[in-house]
A = this chain, B = another copy of it.
Amino acid sequence: MVKTGFSSMHVQACLVSSVILNLLFVTYIYLGGQWNLSWSSGAAAEAEAVTSAGHGRVYLVDDENTEPGSECNSAGPDYSHFSTNCIADANSWTSGAAAEAEAIAAVSCSGHGRVYLDGLVDDENTEPVCECNSCYSGPDCSRFLTDCILDANSGDPLFLEPFWKQHAASSAVVVAGWHRMSYKYNNNVYISKELERLIRKLHAVVGNAVTDNSYIIFGAGSTQLLTAAAYALSPENSSSPAAIVASVPYYTLYQQQGEYFNLAKFKFEGGAHKWMNKSDSSTYTIEFVTAPNNPDGRLNKPLLEGPNVKTVYDRAYYWPHYTPITAQADEDLMVFTLSKLTGHAGSRFG
């Protein structure tokens, strides 16, 4: 979340273009059918020209449509006619997927694992198999591994899974095969306005952040947004890279990402306290303020200030299930993440 008056429009544009909107829905790749399409050759340039036509689109016809009651096979077998853009078996196209999901969800895996629709399948490639929790094994996850070593280095928000199971009906979603195929949303934007509206509503209901006069920017997890923020706040043509700093102890990912990308624009420099007497220097400094802090939970405050200091607030844990919400956060640049709010870490959304 970035304040509208913050820095310059350059920063906004930079941040927006830094992040990639990721909405990947499970797609059943249609391996069984024939790839008989109405135009089976022709170069990529042709494809681009055809697909860019917008309204008057070329429609595909295939001859493997075996779904009962389909009204979509009006095209002749010579592919000389274009089919209409209709839904095959329009009145019950969701029932198979619904039954499949309920059957999968009913597999208990002894309470020590789970089966997913897109999970591993057994040797005969027919049924998904149980994926066991750490320290459990066997086809139904019933075997406890006594010599198992537990990795307590980092967290995984699976503790929120029962909440979603208790709200199974209200959280279920049917994804159609043609869901949001375009690169863009309506009106030529890459950001879902509806999702943005819900995020503002959420912060208002919870009371943990002011979203008025702010831009909402999406990323593939807050991981991506943190680097995007550092990139956007670093000066464009500086002789030396901007220094990224944070209070000790800090989240190790800040350092890992800074070192990994090895950018000309910024460099991770460690503890912010070392820079407290240098804040009047000419070095451009970006302080990551993590509140609550990872790993110690403290509500950190910035150590640095000055004309060459910018502050990025990592608000990942500023939700009522981690810390008392005593006030609405209202900083210029705040980063939140779905993984800590709802537990959907695997969805990569911040």
Min Cβ gap A153→B in Å is 7
- A40 to B101 alpha-carbon distance, docked (Å): 32
- A297 to B43 alpha-carbon distance, docked (Å): 5
Q: Which of A4-12, A111-119, A268-276, A302-310 touches B?
A: A111-119
Q: Which of A82-90, A209-217, A277-285, A327-335 touches B?
A: A82-90
How many subunits of this chain does the assembly comprise? 2
With A51-B159, A160-B60, A321-B40 in contact, do A24 and B23 touch (Cβ < 8 Å)? yes
Within 8 Å by CB of A60, from B134, B159, B176, B183, lies B159
Q: Answer yes or no: A98 CB below 8 A from chain B CBs.
A: yes
Q: Answer yes or no: A139 CB below 8 A from chain B CBs.
A: no
How many A residues touch the partner, as a band? 35 or more
Q: Which residues of B contact A345 (CB under 8 A)?
A: 181-183
Evaluate contact between A296 and B45: CB separation under 8 angstroms: yes
Within 8 Å by CB of A176, from B57, B96, B133, B164, lies B164
Q: Which residue of B lies closest to A290 (CB)?
A: B44
Q: Answer yes or no: A173 CB below 8 A from chain B CBs.
A: yes
Q: Which residues of B contact A193 (CB under 8 A)?
A: 120
- A53 to B159 alpha-carbon distance, docked (Å): 9
